[in-house]
Amino acid sequence: MAGASQGGTGTGTAIRLAAEGARVAICARSTNKLRETLDAIEAVGGQGVMFECDLGDPLGGRDALVRRTEEALGPIDYLVYVAAYGPYKKFEELGYEELDRAFEVNVKAPLLIAQHLVTSLRARLAAGALVTIGTKAARPLVGPPYPATPPFMAGALYGGTKAALHRITQSIAAETYGQGISANVLSPLAAIGTPALRSGGWIPEEMFEPVETMVEAVLALLTGDPAVLTGRDVSSIELLVELQRPVYDFSGTTLVDGWQPADLPAFIEARKVPVPLSYEGQSRGSRP
């Protein structure tokens, strides 16, 4: 689990996978909040390990993640890449450091870690799955005129590098098809209700979906038939409706009220109406 320290999709997925019986490895730049995630994994009866790793630094430990995980827990079946970086900032204001880090975190690190996973799976003739977390900001922009929202007015770096990740993930799906390996990219329909985004105050409350819908969709993609459910670039809510999949909490024991398949079409329909967002002063953190 690359990126599991911010209380969002990575954290929730790690806990849910552990509750379903998986042994889970989690990583982030600091082990402070990883410790909290590991405690939550153990609270649901799971087993996990944590690694301090700076995915944006070529020398920060990312090349050893697969090896260290397999040494600690055994062969890897699933990889979920959640980590992301990119300021919503006007393109002419971007500096070299920001450019480098965005490409390292959003493009190079997930590609290289996926190489290690697929190499391991192929050597073992094993089935497996990869899910990368994408974003609507990676979609082609529609206009003119263009709405004054962050993805349109300040999304060149974040949206551009994440678009590369979307394409890379689909290429992995094509190159591994028929080998029992799936690769899919999953995005929120609008925005994920992470603590960081909710506290920011720049996204209206009605835009948020709970972290649980993202986690349920990740689980669906990881455990789906790799001969059918691969190469998808899909939103969480739309996938859950398509599969008619119930949405559970992180423990996998309680249904999340108001976010079941029958409830979701109304949320999808409401998101078709643009909601103004303010991006002034927003530069880092979780992204919709």
State pLDDT tens for residues 61-118: 999 999 999 999 999 999 999 999 988 999 999 999 999 999 999 999 999 999 999 9
pLDDT band at 150 (very low <50, low <70, confident <90, very high): confident
User: What length does the chain have?
Assistant: 288
- Residue 195 is predicted with a pLDDT of 73
Q: In this structure, is the dihedral angle defined by the CA atoms of residues 120, 115, 86 and 55, taken in order, positive or negative?
A: positive
Beta partners for residue 181, in sequence order: 128
State pLDDT tens for residues 177-231: 999 999 999 999 988 887 777 766 667 778 889 999 999 999 999 999 999 999 9
Pick the CATH number of 9-270 from 3.40.50.720, 3.30.450.40, 1.10.730.10, 3.30.342.10: 3.40.50.720
Is 2 strand, coil or helix? strand
- CA-to-CA distance for 16 and 51, rounded, in angstroms? 19
Do residues 105 and 55 touch, judged by C-beta distance below 8 A? yes
What the block records as the tokens of 196 is 């960081």
pLDDT band at 282 (very low <50, low <70, confident <90, very high): very low
Tokens 């506290």 correspond to: 199
- Residue 202 is predicted with a pLDDT of 64
Highest-scoring range by mean pLDDT, 44-48, 196-200, 272-276: 44-48
What the block records as the tokens of 225 is 């038939």
